[in-house]
Structure 1
Amino acid sequence: MLHAVIMAGGSGTRFWPKSRRDRPKQLLRLHGDATMIQQTLARVSPLIPPDRTWVITGADQAEATRAQLPELPAEQVVGEPCPRDTAACVGLAAALVAARDPEATMVVLPADHVIEPVDAFLASVRAASELVEDDPTAFVTFGITPDRPETGYGYIERAELVGRPGGISAYRVERFREKPDRDTAERFLETGRFVWNAGIFIWRAGAVLDALARHRPALAEAIGRVSGTLGTPGFREALEREYPSMEKIPIDKAVMEQAENVRVLEVPYSWNDVGDWRALTALVPPDERGNSTQGPVLAPGTSDCIIVSDEGKLIAALGVEGLVIVQSGGATLVARKDQLDRLKAMVEGLGEAGYGGLL
């Protein structure tokens, strides 16, 4: 059967001050009437019911996540004691899924992406599941056709066509590429062989556990010690004991770049990974002066700005350009758009600066 694993880790520093440690990006309403994690669950639910859906999040956010997703069994929202990147997250989830359903196929997806239309996403999941059903050793990832030389995304170089399940082209993966510089991104776009790495995967739970055992044995052994306590009162204790020493590595490097049988679907939907405040421009249509705003905003003579007030308090911006202004929870961010790559470092320094209560 098909299971869903929603990765909901991270502290959301790139959306400070609206996001905080106990209220990261995936728990925010940045687009539409539901939070990002609620939208993610709704997107996958036509194919996968709540009793086969799992959320791996931070321990500090587990209760808030359960409150937002009451349809999920509480035990299927699992809090990581500390962040160890996506390989540990995926390994833990695969162990949980395999314990319940040894032949399970799992779709792994982030909690904080915007994907439209939903029907095209579901068609892609069905197509990827078909590839895994035909070859249980296959590792399938989703690729987005690039429309610009983006330097903020990882890329996948595709090789020959291996099939068209459900009418969607599937290719053998030649190699994964890190975030490129501008010139390299332009070359990628010119070749027509590269797609953006969407960070969505489908594989057999047992296959990814086997791959971790082969390529990252210490990590797999630690996951095995935790999974040996599943269904017992010692599970949480084992998780807290083993997790901090697990290798901190993304699943792309731990498995996908090492495995031989990797496929990429060139999927037919639009995708936004909502990386920082600049992504709001694609989610909230700008006005005639290029301003994307939420909440009470007065902006005479202001252009090309992102302005957010989520507490009903007016923000007045007079004659400014190219700024991000966000007011939330007793803190206000004012930044040039081209400086947002430095926001994470600034937020991580709040504690040393005496503002730890605003993290």
Structure 2
Amino acid sequence: MTNKDNYCVIMGGGIGSRFWPFSRKTLPKQFLDFFGTGRSLLQQTFDRFNKVIPVENIFIVTNDMYADLVKEQLPGLKADQILLEPTRRNTAPCIAWAAYHIRALNPKANIVVAPSDHLILKEGEFLESIKKGLDFVSHSDKLLTLGIKPNRPETGYGYIQIAEKESTDFYKVKTFTEKPELELAKVFLESGEFYWNSGLFIWNVNTIIKAVQELLPELAENLELGNEAYGTQSEKAFIDENFPACPNVSIDFGIMEKADNVYVSLGDFGWSDLGTWGSLYDLSPKDMNKNVILKCQSLIYDGKDNIIALPEGKLAVIEGLEGYLIAESDNVLLICKKDEEHAIRKYVNDVQIKLGEDYI
């Protein structure tokens, strides 16, 4: 029997600019089906948590402009389960708003917070970790995150250093480190004390609201509407007026790195932050020359280690390229070195400034 006090908040408001040009402002990556499964990343995330969380206790926090997309992809949700941000303000404001909203519905709620674009290969092990985490926070005032055992010196993830063990499955967090340089990432990997920060969080609703009040008082002031008003028609008007004034800060920087009651549950469930073309390359099947072909047809001569992602039905004929990304979507064709994908955000900014929004 699923616990009626358990809730899930799925964050689905990002643009996913590192996946440009596939991920566009009007149709970002969480609404795309990257692997041809028939379900978008958002739908897969919903399906996963719906196995352990009642459907009526799952909430999506997204931007106003994606309201219709969420309703189309998750028609089983009621309108009040889709929390629409009037503007983007990073993860701390969206998580805090969801917490205030859920507390008005159930002051005993335990909440798992998840991005909408993660890939989980070992779903059974993952859901067991989620259930154990929800039980842990239901009788303790701890802020819990899920840590992933690293298998390479990855510079694109944050790291968690563990301290003493609280119980069989939980450790106190010693330090957080954001996206280290390669040499430091190698040291982290060799030490055995550091784990990737998955961006998945679990806590009791009162624990997270108390942390917001103490560590981000400006944010709390902007969201203190009162339990009796949350869940009513006045909530959306209040959010539309006050949310833009919330500080633009991540939950990691604003809360997790400052709080003294942060714990981590260590997992190995085939997790990947599907945040970049490189991560998609790592997860995708490859031909004998380590080329990844997505959706389109291709003939590759003297080429290896490439990602080719064109619209379905298109043919790519490529000769002499090694380590390139070739991606086309709508009115944009991108060709760049695969290992220099960090420059994609620069390309997006330059296009926006020089050519306008039609290509973003």
Match of 1:200 in 2: 200
Matched, 1:175 2:179: no
Partner Cα separation in structure 2 for residue 341 and residue 228 of structure 1 = 45
Partner Cα separation in structure 2 for residue 101 and residue 235 of structure 1 = 16
Letter in structure 1 aligned against 2:41 = M
Matched, 1:42 2:47: yes
Contact 2:100 2:230 in 1 (8 A): no
- Segment drifting more, 348-357 vs 50-59: 348-357
Give the drift of 1:226. 8.0
Partner Cα separation in structure 1 for residue 270 and residue 99 of structure 2 = 28
Match of 2:344 in 1: 343
Give the drift of 1:76. 0.9
Unaligned runs of 5+ in 1: none
Contact 1:31 1:283 in 2 (8 A): no
Match of 1:65 in 2: 70
Match of 1:7 in 2: 11
Contact 1:50 1:73 in 2 (8 A): no
Match of 1:301 in 2: 302
Matched, 1:159 2:163: yes
Mark the CA change 1:185 to 1:299 in structure 2 (over 3 Å): closer, same or farther.
same
Which one of 111, 125, 129 corresponds to residue 130 of structure 2? Answer: 125
After superposition, the C-alpha distances for 1:215-259 in whole angstroms (9 at most, x for unaligned) are 111100111138664233332222121111101111112221222
Match of 2:315 in 1: 314
Partner Cα separation in structure 2 for residue 8 and residue 272 of structure 1 = 17
Alignment root-mean-square deviation, CA: 1.4
Contact 2:323 2:338 in 1 (8 A): yes
Structure 2 SS opposite 1:96: helix
Give the drift of 1:50. 1.4
Contact 1:297 1:309 in 2 (8 A): no
Structure 2 SS opposite 1:93: helix
Contact 2:278 2:339 in 1 (8 A): no
Which one of 80, 86, 90 corresponds to residue 81 of structure 1? Answer: 86
Q: Map 1:161-240; keep pairs closer than 5 Å.
A: 161-164=165-168, 169-225=169-225, 229-240=229-240
Structure 2 SS opposite 1:157: strand
Give the drift of 1:312. 2.0
Contact 1:116 1:270 in 2 (8 A): yes
Letter in structure 2 aligned against 1:146 = P
Partner Cα separation in structure 2 for residue 325 and residue 10 of structure 1 = 23
Partner Cα separation in structure 2 for residue 176 and residue 226 of structure 1 = 33
Give the drift of 1:160. 1.2
Give the drift of 1:156. 0.4
Letter in structure 1 aligned against 2:24 = R
Tell me how many residue pairs correspond in the alignment: 354
Structure 1 SS opposite 2:224: helix
Letter in structure 1 aligned against 2:176 = F
Letter in structure 2 aligned against 1:337 = K
Matched, 1:94 2:99: yes
Structure 2 SS opposite 1:143: strand
Give the drift of 1:32. 4.0
Unaligned runs of 5+ in 2: none
Structure 1 SS opposite 2:355: coil
Q: Map 1:321-332; keep pairs closer than 5 Å.
A: 321-332=322-333
Contact 2:21 2:328 in 1 (8 A): yes
Partner Cα separation in structure 1 for residue 118 and residue 257 of structure 2 = 23
Partner Cα separation in structure 1 for residue 232 and residue 260 of structure 2 = 36
Letter in structure 1 aligned against 2:12 = A
Partner Cα separation in structure 2 for residue 330 and residue 227 of structure 1 = 47
Contact 2:103 2:227 in 1 (8 A): no
After superposition, the C-alpha distances for 1:103-133 in whole angstroms (9 at most, x for unaligned) are 0000001000001211011000011112112
Partner Cα separation in structure 2 for residue 184 and residue 231 of structure 1 = 46
Mark the CA change 1:116 to 1:237 in structure 2 (over 3 Å): closer, same or farther.
same
Structure 2 SS opposite 1:347: helix
Give the drift of 1:58. 1.2
Match of 1:252 in 2: 252
Partner Cα separation in structure 1 for residue 71 and residue 91 of structure 2 = 21
Partner Cα separation in structure 1 for residue 191 and residue 60 of structure 2 = 37
Letter in structure 1 aligned against 2:124 = D
TM-score normalised by structure 1 residue count: 0.95
Structure 2 SS opposite 1:230: coil
Mark the CA change 1:82 to 1:227 in structure 2 (over 3 Å): closer, same or farther.
farther
TM-score normalised by structure 2 residue count: 0.95
Contact 2:104 2:231 in 1 (8 A): no
